Amino acid sequence: MLAQNPRHADALHLLGLILRDHGVLTEAESSIRQAIAVDEQARFVGSLGSVLLDEGCTVEAEAMFRRAIELDARAPAAYYNLAVLLLDATRAGEAEAALRQVFALDARFPGAHRNAGRAMFMLARLDEAEAFFRGALERDSADARAMSGLAAVLAHEERLDDAKAACEAAIRMAPHFFDAHLNLGAVLLRLDRLDEAEAVLRHALSLDGQQASGHFNLGTVLMGANRSEEAQASLQRALELDPSYVEAWLNLGRVLEGLQRLDDAESAYRSGLAARPADPDLQANLALVLLAKGQFAEGWRLYESRFAARHGGPLAWDSGFASPQWRGEALRGKSLVVVAEQGFGDTLQFCRYLPLLKAKGLKHLTVVCERPLSRLIEEIEEVDACITRADASGLRAHDYWCFMMSLPLRFNTALDSIPALVPYLRAPDGLADAWKTRLPGASPKVGLVWAGERRRDIKNADAVDKRRSIHARQFLPLLQVPGVSFVSLQLGATTRPQIEAIPAEIRPFDPMSDVTDFADTAAIIENLDLVIAVDTSTAHLAGALNKPVWMLSRFDQCWRWMTERDDTPWYPSMRLFRQTEPGEWESVIARAAHELRAFVESATKLDRATAARRPARKSRK
């Protein structure tokens, strides 16, 4: 036909479509443009938009779809193609508007329900997303993409078993469908079935190795399996394919941080922030790296993002405070509520700032904290009132309120200006004497803590707890040091019973069944000569009491212990015993046991010297 009439618009358009189907995109574009030059029809312009989209020319493709709508506002295909383009560009709100036009023109338009499900999922309207995906499956029960989309919704709602079943159904419909395998791998990761997740994701990448999401998900699985170098390689491959992949920059930073490559981690987080400057997870993680490196000025400022990073927004219960948040205004004659946050150890570390508030002329200071800490915090002379979070809603009006871990920022804390006047905590009067009679009489007395508490309410905290904690029986080299009276300071429904794994003849004395709060623990510690603990609130408490404390630190230690030092500016009485390899506790405990022998020898010599200086008793007549 074109031989007879080279300007036959329909023939030129049809040729363009055939060329597109064969992947000859440049010639397809040329043929369709010739058709449009002859007769600018909406369907021709829409086809050109599709070819341009295949060529990666999204801006021009969008312009073509919008032009097709101008030429024929009654044609649903142009609205549909525009919606798909907008969804791929994560412009879900605009895509929803285009899809509503599709439904208004043709409620059964192929693919419309499935893509409406995509839009609703992106907009976090999960009930609507599920309804659209199920609607798509009612119209086509073999729509693997709709089934895979439904699986993503179910996984987001924590209906993981249903999500797994939906992924498997999608794979049965389309065995080579990359997204279904990708989603199944993500669900298996959430179910902590890491070996299966890895196998599924490696199969997905064998189907399409050019998908950044596949390498990202595999890297995330390898992170969960503590295979850091492999995780790093997968995440870097994801970023080679998509340098704007913010979540990949975030996880790469976490991997590098765990490997103690802090400069590289900082670079990764900053790369992610270049693509998404206000991302709270990136800001919070970068803050911790900067704090670990001693770069406090920027670190404390960025650390304010921690609330959104942990909770997706401000803490829900803080909205009850009618007063403004304190941001450094003059405090003379004012009243202030300081709210403790995160873990017990954080409160124990940062309550050191409370006296400094009164030094600014503050008239009334109220502290809100967890009940196990309240009796101890009340002992701080400058604290006028201490209440629990449960009672915070009925608190009388104050001039300001502030989160406790924002105080270092408000006081412009630098590495050389950390408030470290210790002790800044003490047990209530008489409590230490009361506990003294209940503890072993022999000295030196050494307290032990081998594990932390699991914190499922904080992202990533459970994984951190696994890395910082050990089993009680791993303390055997310490317990075999002679001449020591060991006292367990271990709490926890699953960790305290581990003491039974220690042979009875060297088992520490365990008084913790009678401990009601941190005030009791503080009273016990005041009767000890030394505390040896993993990175837990008890280590912080011993440091705040200025009791000698040896902290056994995991390889990827918390930011507050900084790097390459065995002391800490936060607690003058603390020594750090760091892992030199991830997960390797044997050498750490061996070093502590060696030092404990020297500690006992020194204490024994001191006792002998003290005894030698005592005057001889007169003989009785």
Q: Single out the residue of 601, 542, 596 nearest to residue 572, CA to CA.
A: 542
> What distance in Å separates the CA atoms of residue 454 and residue 451, rounded to the nearest whole number?
9
For residue 312, is pLDDT > 90? Answer: no
Q: What angle do CA 490, 494, 496 make, to 5 degrees?
A: 25
Fold of 320-417: Rossmann fold (3.40.50)
Length of the chain: 621
Q: What is the pLDDT of residue 619?
A: 46
For residue 390, is pLDDT > 90? Answer: no
In the chain, where the domains are located: 9-239, 320-417, 431-608
For residue 514, give the amino acid letter. Answer: D
Q: What angle do CA 77, 80, 83 make, to 5 degrees?
A: 155
Residues 6+ apart with CB under 8 A from 594: none
Fold of 9-239: 1.25.40
Q: Single out the residue of 470, 469, 450 nearest to residue 461, CA to CA.
A: 469
When pLDDT is averaged across residues 6-28 and rounded to a whole number, the result is 86
Q: What is the pLDDT of residue 562?
A: 93
Render pLDDT for 63-106 as a digit per residue (tens, 0 to 9): 999 999 999 999 899 999 999 999 999 999 999 999 999 999 99
Lowest mean pLDDT among 209-213, 482-486, 600-604: 600-604
- Output the CA–CA distances (angstroms, integers) from residue 577 to 108, 466, 486, 549, 607, in the order listed: 67, 18, 19, 11, 27
For residue 560, is pLDDT > 70? Answer: yes
Lowest mean pLDDT among 117-121, 360-364, 459-463, 540-544: 459-463
Six-digit token pair at 246? 């913010």
User: Residue 367 pairs with which residues in a beta bridge?
Assistant: 338, 386
Q: Please state, rounded to an integer, the average pLDDT across all residues of the chain.
A: 92
- Give the residue, 618 or 35, on which the prediction is more confident: 35
Six-digit token pair at 210? 């050019």
Residues 6+ apart with CB under 8 A from 265: 253, 254, 256, 257, 285, 289
Q: How many CB atoms lie within 10 A of CB 429?
A: 8
User: Residue 448 pairs with which residues in a beta bridge?
Assistant: 488, 532
Helix (H, G, I), strand (E, B) or coil at 332: strand
Tokens 């997960």 correspond to: 583
Q: Do domains 320-417 and 431-608 have the same CATH topology?
A: yes
3-state helix, strand, coil in the chain (%, to 5): 60, 10, 35
Render pLDDT for 395-430 as a digit per residue (tens, 0 to 9): 888 999 999 999 999 999 999 999 999 999 999 999
Work out whether strand 530-534 and strand 549-553 pair parallel, antiparallel, or are unpaired: parallel
For residue 576, give the amino acid letter. Answer: L
pLDDT band of 602, cuts 50, 70, 90: confident
Instruction: Check: CB of residue 114 under 8 Å from CB of residue 133.
Output: yes
Cis peptide before 280 (omega within 30 of 0): no
Q: How many CB atoms lie within 10 A of CB 414?
A: 13
Six-digit token pair at 340? 């403790």
The four Cα atoms 585, 588, 593, 594 give a dihedral, to 10 degrees, of 140
Tokens 């630190």 correspond to: 553
For residue 126, is pLDDT > 50? Answer: yes
Conformational region of residue 532, where left means phi above 0, alpha means psi within -120 to 50, and beta covers everything else = beta
For residue 453, is pLDDT > 50? Answer: yes
One-character DSSP codes across 41-103: -HHHHHHHHHHHHHTT-HHHHHHHHHHHHHH-TT-HHHHHHHHHHHHHTT-HHHHHHHHHHHH
Q: What is the pLDDT of residue 609?
A: 63
For residue 316, is pLDDT > 50? Answer: no
Q: What is the CA radius of gyration of the chain?
A: 32
Residues 6+ apart with CB under 8 A from 123: 92, 93, 96
> What distance in Å separates the CA atoms of residue 105 and residue 581, rounded to the nearest whole number?
64
- Give the residue, 454 or 574, on which the prediction is more confident: 574
Q: Single out the residue of 375, 376, 338 nearest to residue 356, CA to CA.
A: 338
Q: What is the pLDDT of residue 339?
A: 93
> What distance in Å separates the CA atoms of residue 541 and residue 377, rounded to the nearest whole number?
12
Tokens 């005041």 correspond to: 526
Render pLDDT for 363-384 as a digit per residue (tens, 0 to 9): 999 999 999 999 999 999 999 9
Q: What is the pLDDT of residue 621?
A: 39
CATH level 2 (architecture), domain 431-608: 3-Layer(aba) Sandwich (3.40)
Q: What is the pLDDT of residue 458?
A: 52
Q: Single out the residue of 499, 376, 484, 485 nearest to residue 449, CA to CA.
A: 499
Q: Single out the residue of 334, 396, 329 nearest to residue 368, CA to CA.
A: 396
Instruction: Check: CB of residue 166 under 8 Å from CB of residue 151.
Output: yes
Six-digit token pair at 350? 């940062």
One-character DSSP codes across 335-348: EEEEE--S-HHHHH
